[in-house]
Amino acid sequence: MAALWPKISAVLPPKAEQFPLQFSDKVDSSVVEMMKRSTQQLYSDTTRTVRLLSAQIILDFSWEKLNTGTWRDVDKEWRRVYSYGCLFKVAALCREDPSPEEVLQAVKTCDMGLLMGAAIMDDVLQVIVRILQGEVGKSSKEEEEEKREHPQVKRIKLEIPRVPVIKEELAVPRIRSPSLESFNKNYLLPLKPVILEGVIDHWPALNQRPWSIEYLRSAAGCRTVPVEVGSRYTDEEWSQTLLTVNEFIDRYIENKDGGSALGYLAQHQLFDQIPELKDDIRLPDYCCLGEGEEDDITVNAWFGPGGTVSPLHQDPQQNFLAQVVGSKYIRLYSPEDSDKLYPHQSELLHNTSQVEVENPDAEQFPEFAKAPYQECVLQPGEVLFIPVKHWHYVRSLELSFSVSFWWS
């Protein structure tokens, strides 16, 4: 992989003096000096060991700042420092002839900067990770050819979904490709849930590039993502971890280690992190009826095995939930019935119900049974409109990949 460094250096400033390191006085002067030293090392014949050590000092110091207090209170300047630390580490790993393992480590470092840091130098980490992923892709193709010559039979645990019977009088209404005017008048303005059919049939994710496990491995397998471990985020044993997409699939989709825990790649802006997957989807046309700009729309990925649950909760924006792979059971309650849904009292979970929807405790929550609701099973190619503040409960019936669009 000796040809890797010229590709990376081509996206960096040609001289150390042109390297942008402007920070406010919120960043300690000693840290700025360390970044200047790392910059000089980047453009000199310093050893890899020294470059890595300097980068790690910047990463360790800024990591401590990122993990002090709540995330919302972390100053963006320290997130930028962390991104610079990631950049210096990637450069140190790739400057000489890196091994395949070091390239994978560089990909993970870029992802940590994209996940925890802030954009620097025209989003240079995004540019570099695409270069790196191209190198990883070459190695993956060689491995695929090797597997074709020596095939192994893969057995994935078959899931038998527990599919609820949807009563006709409770079913969310369906409509096929309504006009913008019709959707606005009949569903958006009166805030009525509806399933839209035929509005994402043109997505490459459903046609030219269907999201199979093999495709997701090839497009994103080496990328690091946040994973929720546990059936639902309100459980005491629920936790979060960082895994590559390949590790997530091995552990929680194909269940290669035989574990019983559920893993869920949930509410993650995967498409900002991996633009290759963003090319497989499109913004629903109906989002143009909102008041915000296109850049204000939050697009999240929801990928996991059958049995993952999003507890009954509400969101402060309009939501289009597009189903790409598998099916989900969804139940909806109007915000007018919030008093019967027993929201948590804590500020952190005030938008989440205490009730276990499909197994409610009638003694503890006696009013819950009186709350009217609508329900559906969302299938691939369908989009559910969840109006702002509408309570919704979601359970994956099988291996599932959904995309949500939050807009105002």
Which H or E element spans position 384? strand 382-386
Gap between the Cα atoms of 27 and 303, Å rounded: 37
Q: What confidence score (pLDDT) does residue 201 get?
A: 97
Q: What is the mean pLDDT of each run of 10 residues along the chain (408 residues)?
A: 87 94 94 96 94 97 92 93 98 94 97 96 96 82 52 49 86 98 98 98 97 96 95 80 97 89 94 95 96 92 95 97 97 97 90 96 97 98 98 96 96
Gap between the Cα atoms of 312 and 360, Å rounded: 12
Gap between the Cα atoms of 193 and 123, Å rounded: 38
Gap between the Cα atoms of 37 and 44, Å rounded: 11
> Could you give the strand order of the β-sheet that contains 239-244, starting from the edge strand earlier in sequence?
174-176, 194-197, 382-386, 318-325, 400-407, 298-304, 263-268, 224-229, 239-244
Q: What confidence score (pLDDT) does residue 153 get?
A: 45
Which H or E element spans position 83? helix 76-94
β-strands 391-396, 328-333 pairing? antiparallel
352 contacts 344 by C-beta, under 8 angstroms: yes
β-strands 174-176, 194-197 pairing? parallel
Q: What is the pTM of this model?
A: 0.89
Residue position matching structure tokens 């019977």 = 165
